[in-house]
Chains A and B, each alone.
Chain A
Amino acid sequence: MKSVISLSGAGKLFGGRQVLQDVSAEIGAAEFVSILGPSGCGKSTLLRLIAGLVPFEEGRIRFGGADVTAPTAEMGFVFQTSNLLPWRNVRDNLLLGVDLDPQARRPDEAAFAALVETLGLTGFETSYPSELSGGMRHRVAIGQALARNPQVLLMDEPFGALDALTRDRLNVELLRIWQRDRKTVLLVTHSISEAVLLSDRVLVMSERPGTIIEDVRIDMPRPRDPSATREDPAFGDYVVRLSKLMGVA
C-alpha cells in the first residue's frame, strides 16, 4: 500500500525534555489508524507534529512525499474541544475553514447539503453553537474539517468529553463517512475499545518519552457497528492484547 504519511525517527523536545522519541510509522491511503496511549505519552503532540502545528527537532515527517513544515489544506484537524466560534452559526462554522483558506475548495450547494445531511445537522444550519448539544457541536467540528474535503483527517480525542452513548453514535457516523469517502484517518484516543472498533491498525505508544511500541492490525470484518462488533470474540481478544500492551491488564 502506498503510504500517505511517513514518519522516520521523529522526536520532539519541550524545554530540553524528550517528549517523543524515535517515532517511525507508515500510514497508507484510506487507512483508519488509531494512536493509543496512556495520558501524557505525547500522542496529541505527535498528531500536532504530523499536522505541522508544532515544530520538531529530530527525524522526518513526510506527507505525500514532502516534508511537513506547516499546516496544509489536505489535512483536516479535529480538536479535542469542538472549537466552534460562538458568533458564527452552524453553516458559517462549517465553512470557516473554507472561508479562511484561499486554497481550500468550497463545496457547492449540493455537496454542502449532503454534508449537513450526513452529519445529521439538517434544519440546524442557522443555529448557533450555544443552542446545540455537545454531540452536535462535535459533529459540526468534524464537518468543518470535512467541508475542506481533505485527503487526511487528523482527530485528537474528538469524542473524549462526550457520554458513552453519544460517543457510540458519533463513532458510527465517523465509520460511515470514512467508508464512503475513503479518507485516511488518524485518530488519537485513550479508549482501547474505541480504537479496536474503528481501526484497521492501532499504534500503541509507551509512556513518556513516547514512542510506538506495537503496531496491531485489527482483522475484523467491515462494516462494523458498536453492538455487533463488540460481541465478536475477536474484539475481546484485541482489547485484552492492547490492554496488556498498555500495562493496564
Chain B
Amino acid sequence: MSRRFNRDTATSAGFFLALGLAWEYGVRWSGVQSYLLPPPSAILGELWTSRGAILSQSLVTLTEVFWGFLIAVALGVPIAALIYFSPTAKRTVYPLFVALQSIPKIGLAPLIVVWCGYGLASKLIMAFLFAFFPIIIATLGGLASTPAHLDEHFRALRASPMQSFWRLRVPAALPSFLDGCKVAMPLAVIGAVVGEFVGSNDGLGNLILTASGSGHTTLTFAALIAVTVLSLLLFYGVAYWERFIWWRAA
C-alpha cells in the first residue's frame, strides 16, 4: 500500500519536475524574452521578493471571497427552501433567479462598480453573484432528493413537519449542498478577481492587471499562482467538511 503510494507520488512529482525543467531550460535556450514568458525560477524568486505585497493583496481578495461566499450561503439556502416549499415561489422567485443567472455577470461588473464604488462592497457583490446560483440549485436538488419512502416513514412515525424538515430533509440535503459549495467557492474567487479587474485599487486581480500593464510579467505570474493557491485552499477548506457528512454514499 505505502510502497504503491510512494511510487504514485514519485511518478507525479517526477512528471511535474520534468515539466518545470522543460519550461526553465526551454525558455533559456530558445531566447524567449522574460517579459513574454519568464522561467519558473524567476517566478519563484518574484514570489519571494514580492511576498509582502502578494500576501497583503491575497488578504484583500480573501476577505471579498469570504464575505461574498458567506452571504451567498446565508441567502441561497433560505431562498432554496422557500422555492422548495412554496409552489408560488417556484413559479415566481425561481424563474427570476434563473433569468438573472443568465445575465453574463462579467458584464454586470462595471455597473456594480458604478453603484457600489471601488471598495470592498462591489467585489463582495461580484463574488456573491458568482457563488449564489450554484448554492441555490444544489440546495434545491438536495431538498428534492429526500426519498419519498422515508417521507412516508416519518409520517407513519407521526413526525411533525418541523421534525421531518430538521431530522430528514436537512441531513438528506447536506451532501448535495456541500457539492454546491465546492462548485461555488472557486467561482466566488473568480467573481472577486473579475471585480478587481474592473474597478479596484487592491486585491490580486488588481495586482495582475497593474503588473502586466507595466510589463512586470514575473509578478503577473506570481500573482496568478497566488490566486490559484488561494482558490485551492478555499476549495479544500470546503471539502474538509465532507468528513462530517460521510453518509453521502449510503
Contact = CB atoms under 8 A, between A and B. Distances in A.
Interface in A65-119: 70-73, 77, 79, 81, 83, 85-87, 96-97, 100-101, 103
B235 interface: no
A243 interface: no
Given A71-B158, A96-B157, A79 B149 contact: yes
A83 B150 contact: yes
Given A77-B156, A96-B157, A100-B163, A128 B250 contact: yes
Contacts of A79: 149, 152-153, 156
B168 interface: yes
A51 interface: yes
Contacts of B149: 79, 81, 83
B158 A103 contact: yes
Say what secondary structure dominates the interface of chain B.
helix
Contact of A86 (B157, B159, B167, B250): B250
Given A83-B150, A85-B168, A53 B247 contact: no
Contacts of B155: 53, 71
Most chain-B CB neighbours within 10 Å: which of A87, A103, A129?
Answer: A87
Q: How large is the interface on B (under 10, 10 to 19, 20 to 34, 35 or more residues)?
A: 10 to 19
B157 A129 contact: no
Given A53-B152, A85-B171, A100 B250 contact: no
Nearest to B152: A53
Given A85-B168, A100-B163, A71 B249 contact: no
Contacts of B156: 51, 53, 71, 77, 79
Contact of A101 (B153, B158, B171, B247): B158
A128 B247 contact: yes
A98 B44 CA distance: 62
A172 B54 CA distance: 71
Nearest to A99: B167
A44 to B, nearest CB: 11
Given A86-B250, A129-B250, A130-B247, A100 B171 contact: no
B154 interface: yes
Contact of A73 (B154, B158, B160): B158
Contacts of A83: 149-150, 153
Contacts, number: 49
Contacts of B163: 100
A70 B150 CA distance: 17
A188 to B, nearest CB: 14
Interface in B217-247: 245, 247
Most chain-B CB neighbours within 10 Å: which of A71, A81, A100?
Answer: A100
Most chain-A CB neighbours within 10 Å: which of B152, B153, B163, B168?
Answer: B153
Most chain-A CB neighbours within 10 Å: which of B158, B171, B250?
Answer: B158
Nearest to B250: A86
A83 B158 CA distance: 15
Nearest to B249: A130
Contacts of B157: 71, 96-97, 100-101
B156 to A, nearest CB: 4
Interface in B135-171: 149-150, 152-160, 163, 167-168, 171
Interface in B150-197: 150, 152-160, 163, 167-168, 171
A174 B142 CA distance: 36
Contacts of A101: 157-159
Interface string A150-161: 000000000000
A100 B150 contact: no
A132 to B, nearest CB: 11
Contacts of B160: 100
Contacts of B250: 86, 128-130
A17 B74 CA distance: 46
A87 B247 contact: yes
In the A-B complex, the 6 residue pairs with the smallest Cβ-Cβ separation, listed nearest first, are A86-B250, A86-B247, A77-B156, A130-B250, A100-B159, A87-B247
13 contacts: A51-B156, A53-B155, A53-B156, A71-B158, A72-B158, A79-B149, A83-B153, A85-B167, A85-B168, A87-B245, A97-B157, A100-B163, A128-B247
Given A85-B168, A86-B247, A100-B167, 4 more contacts: A70-B158, A79-B152, A85-B150, A100-B159
Interface of B: 149-150, 152-160, 163, 167-168, 171, 245, 247, 249-250
